[in-house]
């Protein structure tokens, strides 16, 4: 019996049902924050709270999620990924129930930021590890394509669903959906999924877990909250309840302090893990895994590209609502092609993976993203129509769909099954780091560029001094979120709006230019990733993949020559 026969015999007959369950839960996690972004004004009224308090709901979820991903992956490696998946989904559903019924913002933070964040951190690495273990060869590319498409499309569809639920029902149903689906996912996992293999019980690396969790918390907090609290100089105090934990009078901002502490803790984590690995003392994360170029350069590529992808996902909605005058619900509908083309791109990437190789599909997707961002820069202007926007957004969706799922496939291609959970956690952590830094960078860039251009334009507009001063103060205080001051005549309001719209357009173009540069840089880094090609039930890497690609190309050429020869053969002459 050949190795291929062994693989086919060992394939789980319920693997496609398992994929369906995993994809549904990934949609819940990916949509969880994007669905709330358009609901913030309504939530402010319903909960009688403030914008900074609500920001902690979304930021807190990201902090908890990113801080615990590697730990969640390691626990899955030890106790079994199906078990950790069930626990994670159950916690996610419980947190959603608390959030849906929350009478105050404090309960909302507990349900969304804390409990849901922990559940997601346990669940997501296990979904990737399960896919990696039950799918092989060609099917593996298809499975990761479906996973990537679901995650990407959920982010794009989230605002549409959030706007519709908030307008017609309640923002609480954004969490209520999770309460309904989570128990069904748990039931599906318990009944339909095969029990994942549990490895020898080993002690949990508590020092490593503490270092990675606190270090990641510090870095993600610094990256995501620096626009609020300042990069170096404090912009405002960090307040918890009624206590100023970090007053604005401090010599440096709380984010700078958190970043430095986070870096120190992560350096300590690397030192501790290296020593544990040298002693074979069951480290949380084996640093030696980075010897695999697919893993090492795949993680670096994931961070860099996530930085750039946030350029479009952050800047474009800001432009559409600010300078183009769309409502939140209209904004979501204009972004629908992005999600739809992500699905198309993921399926196309999964199919092209077999012919061109996983690495080439990832590179091609990233280059397509960079081209689409450049196209968008020259397209964006006040009064932009849907059909003018469509080509660049559609191309971006195709690129993201083709590249994202297959990049995860690359990262895990050389990792053994018993270590796939912690590797999956590292992959998700890299993306979260990139997303957090990208959001902070793009937010700061749009704000600074918009404010500078708008202030200069308003001062040069020849408006009354009092109105000019009021508008300038408002722009300097609110940046890209500036609102028209009361008391302006229609002519004055038109002049102010024109100045601000042009400034916001300029700020968004700067953000998109940086996004294109970062995605292109990620595409260049991806050139360092070895060739990976699925063949039957195996995954070939490096020289083996190149040799197989050459053999397949030669086979195609021979087939084409034979087909051409057959067409050139003379027709037989029928004789009587």
pLDDT at 337 over 70: yes
- From start to end of 220-346, where are the E strands? 238-240, 243-246
pLDDT at 375 over 90: yes
Identify the residue whose tokens are 């804390």.
114
- Which residues, listed in sequence order, are joined to residue 535 by a DSSP beta bridge? 538
For the segment 350-370, the average pLDDT, to the nearest whole number, is: 87
Whole-number Cα distances in Å, 388 to 307, 371, 372, 393, 509:
25, 16, 13, 10, 16
CB atoms < 10 A from the CB of 8, how many? Answer: 14
Question: What's CA 181's distance to the chain center, in Å?
Answer: 22
Q: Two tokens at 76?
A: 């899955």
Q: What is the mean pLDDT of the chain?
A: 80
Report residue 370's pLDDT band, with 50, 70 and 90 as the boundaries.
very high
pLDDT at 9: 41
For the segment 535-554, the average pLDDT, to the nearest whole number, is: 60
pLDDT at 197: 58
Contact present, 332 and 155 (Cβ < 8 Å): no
Identify the residue whose tokens are 């989570």.
182
Identify the residue whose tokens are 């989230």.
158
**pLDDT for 346-358, tens place per residue?**
888 888 887 788 8
CB atoms < 10 A from the CB of 180, how many? Answer: 11
- Indicate the pairing of strand 243-246 with strand 238-240: antiparallel
**pLDDT for 173-211, tens place per residue?**
888 888 998 998 898 888 877 765 555 566 778 888 889
Which of the pair, 452 or 62, is modelled with greater confidence? 452
pTM of the model: 0.76
Q: Two tokens at 539?
A: 């995954």
**pLDDT for 381-440, tens place per residue?**
888 899 999 999 999 989 988 888 788 888 888 887 777 778 888 888 888 778 777 777
**pLDDT for 10-26, tens place per residue?**
566 678 888 888 888 88
Phi-psi region of 542 (alpha: psi -120 to 50; beta: other; left: phi over 0): left
**pLDDT for 164-174, tens place per residue?**
777 778 888 88
Question: What's CA 152's distance to the chain center, in Å?
Answer: 7
Whole-number Cα distances in Å, 229 to 59, 247, 251, 444, 482:
13, 10, 13, 12, 19
**pLDDT for 432-466, tens place per residue?**
778 777 777 777 788 888 888 888 888 887 888 88
Per DSSP, the residues of 174-233 read HHHHHHHHHHHHHHHHHHHSPPPPPPPP----HHHHHHHHHHHHHHHHHHHHHHHH-SSS
Q: Two tokens at 230?
A: 């300042």
Q: What are phi and psi of 407, to 5 degrees?
A: -65, -40
């Amino acid at each position: 019996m050949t190795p291929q026969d062994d693989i086919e015999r060992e394939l789980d007959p319920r693997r496609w049902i398992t994929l369906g369950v995993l994809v549904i839960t990934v949609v819940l996690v990916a949509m969880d924050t994007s669905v709330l972004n358009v609901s913030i004004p309504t939530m402010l009224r319903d909960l009688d709270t403030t914008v900074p308090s609500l920001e902690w709901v979304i930021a807190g979820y990201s902090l908890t999620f990113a801080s615990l991903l590697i730990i969640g992956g390691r626990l899955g490696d030890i106790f079994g990924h199906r078990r950790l998946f069930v626990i994670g989904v159950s916690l996610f559903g419980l947190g959603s129930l608390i959030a849906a019924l929350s009478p105050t913002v404090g309960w909302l933070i507990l349900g969304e930021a804390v409990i849901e964040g922990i559940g997601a951190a346990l669940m997501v690495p296990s979904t990737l590890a399960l896919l990696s273990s039950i799918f092989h060869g060609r099917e593996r590319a298809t499975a990761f394509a479906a996973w990537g498409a679901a995650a990407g499309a959920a982010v794009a569809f989230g605002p549409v669903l959030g706007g519709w639920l908030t307008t017609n029902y309640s923002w609480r149903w954004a969490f209520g959906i999770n309460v309904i689906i989570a128990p069904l996912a748990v039931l599906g996992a318990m009944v339909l999924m095969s029990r994942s293999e549990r490895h020898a019980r080993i002690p949990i690396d508590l020092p490593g877990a503490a270092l990675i969790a606190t270090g990641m918390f510090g870095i993600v907090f610094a990256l995501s909250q620096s626009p609020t609290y300042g990069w170096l100089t404090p912009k405002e105090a960090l307040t918890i309840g009624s206590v100023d934990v970090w007053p604005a009078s401090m010599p440096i901002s709380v984010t700078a302090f958190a970043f430095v502490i986070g870096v120190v803790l992560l350096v300590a984590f690397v030192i501790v893990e290296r020593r544990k690995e040298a002693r074979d003392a069951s480290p949380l994360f084996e640093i030696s895994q980075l010897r695999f170029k697919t893993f090492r350069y795949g993680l670096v590529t994931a961070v860099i590209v996530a930085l750039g992808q946030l350029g479009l996902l952050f800047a474009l909605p800001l432009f559409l609502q600010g300078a183009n005058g769309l409502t939140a619900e209209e904004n979501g509908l204009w972004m629908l092609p992005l999600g739809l083309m992500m699905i198309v791109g993921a399926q196309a990437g999964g199919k092209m993976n077999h012919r061109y190789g996983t690495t080439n599909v990832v590179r091609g997707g990233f280059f397509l993203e960079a081209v689409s961002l450049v196209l968008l820069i020259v397209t964006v202007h006040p009064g932009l129509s849907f059909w003018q926007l469509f080509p660049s957004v559609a191309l971006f969706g195709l690129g993201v769909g083709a590249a994202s799922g297959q990049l995860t496939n690359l990262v895990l291609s050389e990792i053994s099954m018993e270590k796939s959970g912690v590797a999956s956690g590292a992959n998700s952590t890299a993306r979260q780091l990139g997303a957090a830094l990208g959001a902070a960078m793009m937010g700061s860039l749009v704000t600074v560029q918009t404010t500078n251009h708008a202030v200069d334009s308003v001062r040069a507009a020849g408006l009354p001094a009092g109105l000019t001063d009021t508008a300038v103060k408002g722009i300097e205080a609110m940046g890209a979120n500036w609102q028209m001051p009361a008391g302006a005549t229609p002519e004055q309001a038109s002049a102010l709006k024109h100045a601000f719209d042009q400034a916001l357009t300029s700020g968004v173009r700067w953000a998109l230019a940086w996004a294109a540069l970062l995605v292109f840089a990620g595409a260049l880094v991806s050139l360092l990733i070895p060739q990976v090609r699925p063949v039957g039930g195996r995954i070939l890497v490096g020289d083996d993949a190149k040799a197989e690609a050459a053999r397949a190309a030669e086979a195609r050429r021979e087939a084409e020559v034979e087909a051409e020869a057959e067409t050139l053969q003379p027709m037989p002459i029928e004789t009587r």
